[in-house]
């Protein structure tokens, strides 16, 4: 289902106020830039509709950085999963790169042979409201990985800011149910309004492509990554990397986790799941005697190569899509000032960007 409606400033305020959910997370305006925050309601004046994407990704709302996944007693190991009870949730102000990341995480946690009940509980009753990127972040390169700075699918509602008002695309029945509550505030868009949207979208595309410097992640780059794991480019990347793991934690698609047990009470124990990072030296380290615990990727260069390979080569093979949405958050977060766009261009032999 897909239809487009026009809302005035006041009309969009009413539309957002009609979002009634037990939990609402929205990209809101802050002095340092937009941030995803937990709100009791969605006042339009605070939602970041014309700014670049937030620095943090919405991943933590779907896959918390730390959560309890089981409890058991010292009498036995019959683990009791403690799945969260999630009634209805709304994520407001998502960008197209965030929707692409959610689609990727769905493939990992919902569509495989083993479904994650914790992720499923959070996704089951979720309303996704996205916004066109009329403000493009300087590190964005979504067009290089096959994306666009506006959403064409994956949303319940998508908002396009215009000079005077907004166009709203209805993507699902859930989105239509919200619109139905304020039907009198909606009208059919005019040809001029639709034309303005197309022009604004093309302007954003041109800006992102300019920032990407003509970069395109193609099958050729994927093959080059597989053949250049010991290349000078990856060695240079590893030299600059400080192993802080900010790139993986801020990434909307990185999903590695670590499980450990701890005492949860007098007679109870808990199993905790936390985010993990393939950049860390202890990642994938196996059991063994002190000082001789084997690891499949002993060098930082190995781990840097693995991160790129997983995103640009292994993910397409396993999930049918890249593990990178081009949001550029890893560039923004990196203490070593590593620009993934430059790394990919150098690996491909194209330094024109």
Pair of tokens at residue 48:
């970041």
The rounded distance, in Å, linking the Cα atoms of 211 and 140 is 7
89-94 and 126-131 as β-strands: parallel, antiparallel, unpaired?
parallel
Under 8 Å between Cβ of 225 and 237: no
DSSP summary character for residue 134: S
**Residues facing residue 66 across a β-bridge:** 274
pLDDT tens column, 10-22? 999 899 989 877 7
pLDDT over 70 (residue 159)? yes
Phi, psi of 5 (to 5 degrees): -130, 160
What's the mean pLDDT when you consider all of the chain?
A: 88
The rounded distance, in Å, linking the Cα atoms of 138 and 311 is 21
Greater confidence, 281 or 190?
A: 190
> Residue 230, Cβ neighbours under 10 Å: how many?
10
Least confident of 95-99, 231-235, 305-309, 342-346: 231-235
Q: pTM of the prediction?
A: 0.91
pLDDT tens column, 176-220? 999 999 999 999 999 999 999 999 999 999 999 999 988 998 888
pLDDT tens column, 101-123? 999 999 999 998 889 999 998 89
- Nearest-CA neighbor of 55 among 319, 258, 328? 328
* pLDDT attached to residue 267: 74
The rounded distance, in Å, linking the Cα atoms of 47 and 36 is 9
Pair of tokens at residue 303:
């781990």
- Nearest-CA neighbor of 251 among 76, 75, 60, 40? 60
Q: Please compute the mean of the pLDDT values over residues 52-69 and round it to a whole number.
A: 92
Q: Where are the domains of the chain?
A: 3-212, 219-256+277-348
pLDDT over 90 (residue 244)? yes
* pLDDT attached to residue 147: 96
pLDDT tens column, 312-342? 999 999 999 999 999 999 999 999 999 999 9
Instruction: Give 3-state DSSP helix, strand, coil % of the chain, rounded to 5.
Output: 35, 20, 45
């Amino acid at each position: 289902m897909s239809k487009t409606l026009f809302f005035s400033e006041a009309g969009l305020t009413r539309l957002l106020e009609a979002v009634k959910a037990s939990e609402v997370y929205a990209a809101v305006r802050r002095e340092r830039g937009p941030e995803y925050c937990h709100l009791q309601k969605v006042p339009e004046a605070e939602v970041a509709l014309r700014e670049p994407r937030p620095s943090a990704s919405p991943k933590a709302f779907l896959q918390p950085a730390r959560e309890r996944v089981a409890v058991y007693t010292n009498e036995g190991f019959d683990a009791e999963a403690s799945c969260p009870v999630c009634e209805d949730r709304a994520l407001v102000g998502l960008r197209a790169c965030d929707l692409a990341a959610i689609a990727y995480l769905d493939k990992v946690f919902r569509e495989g042979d083993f479904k994650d009940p914790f992720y499923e509980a959070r996704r089951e009753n979720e309303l996704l409201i996205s916004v066109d990127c009329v403000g493009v972040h300087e590190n964005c390169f979504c067009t290089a990985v096959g994306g666009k700075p506006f959403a064409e699918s994956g949303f319940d509602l998508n908002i396009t800011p215009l000079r005077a008002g907004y166009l709203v695309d209805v993507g699902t029945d859930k989105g239509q149910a919200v619109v139905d509550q304020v039907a009198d505030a909606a009208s059919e868009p005019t040809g001029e309004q639709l034309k303005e949207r197309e022009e604004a979208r093309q302007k954003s595309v041109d800006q992102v492509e300019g920032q990407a410097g003509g970069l395109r992640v193609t099958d050729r780059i994927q093959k080059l990554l597989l053949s250049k794991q010991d290349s000078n480019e990856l060695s240079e990347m590893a030299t600059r990397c400080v192993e802080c793991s900010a790139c993986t934690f801020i990434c909307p698609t990185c999903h590695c986790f670590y499980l450990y047990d701890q005492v949860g009470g007098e007679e109870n124990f808990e199993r905790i799941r936390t985010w993990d990072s393939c950049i860390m030296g202890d990642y994938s380290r196996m059991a063994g005697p002190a000082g001789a615990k084997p690891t499949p990727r002993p060098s930082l260069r190995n781990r840097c190569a693995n991160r790129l390979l997983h995103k640009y080569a292994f993910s397409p093979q396993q999930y049918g899509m890249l593990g990178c949405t081009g949001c550029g958050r890893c560039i923004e977060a990196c203490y070593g000032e590593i620009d993934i766009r430059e790394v990919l261009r150098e690996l491909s032999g194209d330094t024109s960007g």
